[in-house]
Structure 1
């Protein structure tokens, strides 16, 4: 009698364990779960790629410093940047009064226009 009860309980426990294991595996194979797993793997790969890029950048900076020391280019006497260049607008004096285009309006416009050569100004 005890032998039958033992085997019945062991069989029921094995059945519950197997059913739980199968249900977990089925939940892992649903489209939502697969999409979440793929997203997690992509995020991990992005973090690894970012860490690699940071390591490469640090190595480049270190090597650049070593080369600068070896070549003696690390010591800059002037630490401030040169002044911004401004170009003068040259008036076209060869234009005559009989030209169809009024050169005075054009030169007034060019004199009032501020020329900026800073490419990062709009950002």
Structure 2
């Protein structure tokens, strides 16, 4: 009699355990749960991407400082040397074609009105 009661109780416990496990898995596979899981993964991926971008930026700044030290661009210029002059790359006169009497209207003959 004790043996039958033991196996009956063990079977009932296994049945309850299996039922709970199946119900949890079914709840995880509902559309709302899948959408929430996808949203959480997207947020985590965004955080990882942001952290990666910040690490890359910090590495770039550090490398630029190292290169500046090696090349000597971080040091102030010699007071004996004249200051560097900056000139425009192209000296282009303004033509009359560049000025348009009506800046908001196009006079393209191929344009549909």
TM-score range, shorter chain: 0.5 to 0.7
* TM-score, scaled relative to structure 1: 0.61
Show the 5 A alignment for 1:71-110.
Answer: 71-76=71-76
Question: Could you tell me how far apart the structure 2 residues matched to 1:62 and 1:29 are?
Answer: 47
- Deviation >3 Å, runs of 4+: none
1:42 counterpart = 2:42 = yes
Question: Could you tell me how far apart the structure 2 residues matched to 1:42 and 1:74 are?
Answer: 41
Would you say how many aligned residue pairs link Structure 1 and Structure 2? 77
The alpha carbon displacement at 1:75 in A equals 2.4
Please, what is the CA RMSD of the aligned residues? 0.9
User: Which secondary structure does the structure 1 equivalent of 2:75 belong to?
Assistant: coil
Corresponding position of 1:53: 53
The alpha carbon displacement at 1:22 in A equals 0.1
Question: Could you tell me how far apart the structure 2 residues matched to 1:57 and 1:47 are?
Answer: 15
1:22 counterpart = 2:36 = no
Question: Could you tell me how far apart the structure 1 residues matched to 2:6 and 2:67 are?
Answer: 78
Higher relative contact order, structure no. (Cα contacts within 8 Å, ≥ 6 residues apart): 1
The alpha carbon displacement at 1:2 in A equals 0.2
Structure 1: unaligned runs, 5 residues or longer? 78-123
Corresponding position of 2:70: 70
User: Which secondary structure does the structure 2 equivalent of 1:19 belong to?
Assistant: helix
The alpha carbon displacement at 1:76 in A equals 3.9
